[in-house]
Amino acid sequence: MQQQADTAARSVLNGLWLLLVNQDDDSSKRIEDQVPVMAKAGNDMNYVLGFKNAANARKFLQDSEIDNAVPRMVVTANQNNFLDCAKANGAAGLLVDYDASSREYAKASELY
């Protein structure tokens, strides 16, 4: 029973690395004065970029032209903060291991 309750409370973001970047808009919800990096998909919706490990996050930063992004791991203690921040900043879902050069990703998911 306890395991089912723990699984239900776990966010899709848990265990992933997100990139945080400074945002000029003062009205957005923030984590450490920053917001998660997102990409706009073909359906005109924003998706949080999550990475399975720090190496994939660093590779994305090298391949993209994003300055001053900081990788942060999502864990149970902070998952709700990251989830609330992403949703408050217009995220419709999640793209895992997005490749900036090929514009491909390993997985897409809704946010929960």
Helix (H, G, I), strand (E, B) or coil at 52: coil
CA distance 53 to 97: 9
CA-based end-to-end distance of the chain: 21
Query: Dihedrals φ, ψ of 86, to 5°?
Result: -60, -45
Question: Across the chain, what does the average pLDDT equal?
Answer: 87
CA proximity to 92, closest of 51, 40, 16:
40
pTM assigned to the model = 0.84
Q: 2-101 adopts what CATH topology?
A: Trna Endonuclease; Chain: A, domain 1 (3.40.1350)
Note the pLDDT tens digit of each residue in 3-38: 444 444 789 999 999 999 987 666 567 676 789 999
> pLDDT value at position 30?
67
Both tokens of residue 103?
A: 């514009």
Question: Where are the chain's structural domains?
Answer: 2-101
Question: Strands 46-51 and 107-110, how do they pair?
Answer: unpaired
CA distance 65 to 79: 27
